[in-house]
Amino acid sequence: MFSLPKILGLLAILWLVWMLFRLIERRQIQTNSDKNGPADNQGEEGPSSAVEVEECPHCHKFVSRGGCAEENCPLRG
E strand map for the chain: 53-55, 62-64
**φ, ψ of residue 8 in degrees (nearest 5):** -65, -40
Taking the least distance from each CB to Zn ion, the nearer of 25 and 54 is 54
Cβ at position 42, least distance to Zn ion in Å: 25
Residues in contact with Zn ion by CB under 5 A are 56, 58-59, 68, 70, 73
Cβ at position 52, least distance to Zn ion in Å: 15
Cβ at position 53, least distance to Zn ion in Å: 12
Taking the least distance from each CB to Zn ion, the nearer of 49 and 58 is 58
Taking the least distance from each CB to Zn ion, the nearer of 39 and 56 is 56
Q: 29-53 b/e with 16+ CB inside 10 Å = b?
A: eeeeeeeeeeeeeeeeeeeeeeeee
